[in-house]
Each structure stands twice: as C-alpha cells, then as structure tokens.
Structure 1
Amino acid sequence: MNWTNAIMNSKPLQARTRAIVPIVLAALLAGGCASPSYTVTPQMQARAASENPAPAKDDDFPAPDSAKWRQGAFPSLEALRNMRTGMGKDQVRELLGFPHFSEGLGGAREWNYIFHFRTGAGPGYITCQYMVRFNDDVLTNGMYWKGPGCADLLRPPPAAAAPVVAVAPAAAPATKTTLGADGLFRFDGRTLADLLPEGRRKLDALAADIASSASVETVRVTGHTDRLGSDAYNQALSLARAGTVRDYLVQAGVPARKIQVQGRGSSEPKVQCARQAARAALIDCLAPNRRVEIEVSAGR
C-alpha cells in the first residue's frame, strides 16, 4: 500500500496527469459533449419558418483559408436536399457533419462549410461555401450558398426529355395563374429563403387548390425576367425562381411528378418600356415582365 501511494503521489505522474486532462477535455468537446441535445417542437419549427431573415451576402462568408478543416468535404447531394428550416443542430450534423470553421458547437448561431462537387468522371471539381444559420431557438432559419451555380447543383437531374406532343383540341382547358416576382421574392432573390410572406401565402392557397383536385394532371411553372442584365443571367434567374416555386409547391403537398419547370429569361415580355429618364422608373415600368406563371392542366 505504501508503495502504491508513493507512485500515485510522485511528481512525474502528476505532471503527466495534468498534461492528459486538456487532451481528454478537447476530445470530449470535439465529440459534441459541449452541445447537449434539445427537443424540437412544432411551435419552434413554425417560428423558424415564419422568420424569413435577410439572406447572407458574399461578404458574410468567412475566408476559406481561415477554416479549421481547409480540405473541405464532398457532401451527399441528397443530404443537402434534405436541409430545411426548423432543424436542430443534431439533425444538421447528422446530414452534413461538423462545420469546417472554428465556430463552436454550443452557442454558435452560424455554421460554415467548404463543399466540393465533381464535374465529371475525372478528378476535377468545383468548390462552394455553404452557410447554415440558427435562430434564438437554435433551429435552422436560413441556408445560403457562395459560388456561381452552387445552389443549382441541388436541383434533381432532369428526366429524359419526352417528345413534344401538340395539345389535342378536346383536352380540358388549362388555367394559368400569374404571380409577380416582385411580390414573391426579395429583390434579386431566387431561393426558398428569399420568398416573401405574401408570396408564401399565395403559393399556399394555390397549392391547396391543386392538391385538393384529383383531376389535375400537370402543373407547368415558368419563370420570366425583365430585360435588365445579361441573357445568361436572366435565363438562370428565371429558371431558379421557377424551381423554387416548384420546391415550395411540393413541400405544400403537390406531387413532384406532376410539376414541370422552365425558365424563359426575358424572351417573352408582357410590356415594352422606352428608356426612362431614371433607372428606378424603368424598373417600375418593367415590373409586369418579372413574373412566375403557373399553368394547371386537368384531365377530362
């Protein structure tokens, strides 16, 4: 017994013990012990869905070389598609892993990632930054991308193109709903996070009508822009907005297989505006051209 006490009270052993304690604590923190789980309630999810915070700007993203894990990761596209508002940190971590920047796991309200996506069969890839923000309930209330074309990578691969068939004269007439893009999205917005409260209410009502009708066969969502900006930019913007409306309708209960999406850019304007004295006047004049058209076709 005296021999054992002598070993335990020896200074070298005490020094080694003091050196091991920080390592053990660091391992526990890395394992998430500093971020205890919490229950996600429907009320908390409803608050997160209703907040609509301002989207992140490129300057809000941290510099990639400041990441703790600078190599980033090759994420699952399916995991990213499953990201929604109202998710807790445990659920985000299960889908995406730990954030790549030193932002903490307990009180942090923002997680940042560096993600890579293959561009083909070879080793080439593109790199994007992805930000997840949390509200006061520590639930996701915004997911944002930095990098050209990064958000579009999450769109499902297009189905094999079917031959275009002329509409038979006896087919039931289609009903078309036109929603002004200015009332649907924040300025220059295109994602689910950019949808305005009034736009969400209109889409909820439309989705309820579509979902309640057993006769609906197809829903065609077409995005349009004004002529300001390049053709390539306007084409991408119109397609992205149509895709976001499609995603919202699916979340609201419309079967995804019934929805077709297309972007027309600025090729089908409703109004023609002469050059105005001020840019603001021109933007106002072109407002009818910034729209999303939803055409619902029913069977006989």
Structure 2
Amino acid sequence: MKKLMILGLFAGLMGGCTTGTIITQEGTTEQPKWHNAEKVTFNKDLGTFPNLQSLNQIRDGMTKDQLYELIGRPQYDDGWRPREWNYLFHFTTPGQGENNITTCQFKVLFDQNMYARSFYWNPINPENAVCPPNLTPPVKEPIEDKVTTQRYTLGADALFKFDKSDIQNLNPKGRVDLDSLITELGKFKVLNSIRITGYTDRLGSPSYNQKLSQDRAESIKQYLVNRGVNPNIVTSQGRGSAQSVTECENNLSRTELINCLAPNRRVVIDVDGYIEQ
C-alpha cells in the first residue's frame, strides 16, 4: 500500500496540473479544456501582451523551440513533457474590454512527435470576446494609405473534390477561385496577415471534421505560398463544424441534408493590410 501511494504521488508530481484535455495522436481534440485563468505560473499571474507579428507567424508543424522563440514559454503548469502549451494573452483593444484590454487564453496541442498541430482560443474578459481580436500589427506607412480588413469566403464543395483536402484534388473551379483571390491580394500595397480558417458541416465525427477542416485550410495556405505569398504572414486553422451558418432538419433525405448543409462547408480567409486610396 505504501509503495502504491508513493507511485501515485510521483505520477501526480510528473503530471502537473493538466487541463484534462484528451489529445489524439494527431494532436487534435474534440473538447479543449482550460486552466483556471488566474493560475498562471509566472509574470506574477498576469500573463503577457504578445507581439502580434510573432503571433501571426505561428503555424502547423512547428516545434516547441520555434514556438518558444515566437511567444515564449507556456504560462501554465501542464506537467512533464506535456502535449499542450497554455498561455494567457492580453490585447490592446480601444473601446473594447476592461480598460481597453481584451484577455484570452491560447492553447497549442502537439502530436505524438511533439509537433504543433492545432490551436484553440478561449475568451476570458469580456466573456464573449473574439479571440484573438482582429488586430493589425503596427507598421510604418504613409498617411495617404488606408488600413483595411477583407474577408473572403470560398465554398469547400467548389474548392475540393468530395472528402478530399490536398492541393492535387482541387476542383477546376476551386483553382479559378483561388487565382481570383491572389489577384485580390495583389491590390494590397502591404499585406500584414492572412488567416485561413476551414469549416465542415456537422456530418461525421468531430475528430474527423476537425482534421478535414485543418487539412483543407493548410492546403489553401500552401496554394497561396506556392504562388508567392509570404509564408510568414499566413496562418491556418481548422474549426470543424463550429460556427455553422445554416441549420437543417434531420428528417431530410441524406442527399437533401448534404445539399442543405453546403454553406457550412467553407474556407474563410481574413486579410489585413494596407491599400492605396
């Protein structure tokens, strides 16, 4: 009994105060869980203000050392050799949040080989905040230029063949749509960031939809990079069936249901930059 107690204590010390998030071998989860926001382990429990340009460089496949160079060490105790890193970030948001500050938690999940594979945000203050806030990193530009944010939504059915996510399986119309997007990007004098978010419908398992949406977003990113877009300003993420834009009755036939849910299968691309007036 005494030996078992010692082993249990040792396991608890090595495990740290984990969130309890169940992480797949591929570095995804169906339900991210979060630390108590105040349990930050350094900076006097206050979290940090991240460098926006560094934050925009985070992408799938990064090592822990690469992440450390961009956003520093994780700010919560997740035990020994954790497969998740957790942060508490503050953003200056004039006119929003407490004292013009929005606070969010940020989670990175790693696959079994310790490569970053998925990223999650959790609003803290305000509780309904958009995380991360839609911010543009400061750059020096002439006053006659105008900062703008553009959102482009592309239908996944037009982009990819059924159940496919790689560049080789782009539909002809998908290539046309992406080439038109690249033409639009050429109208920007300065591109600060491009955020690509993939979504699926609710059919299929959460883990499958998460991976499909992530893979499709990453393929779009690769397509843009292959055509000259700076990879350091492009990030991609999958949100699975989150934030659906249409709801459909379950009593429809499968074909009718698939067609009804089509608007939810999409890729959203948010572009921040400067255009000439």
TM-score by length of 1: 0.45
TM-score by length of 2: 0.49
Question: By percentage of residues, which structure has more strand?
Answer: 2
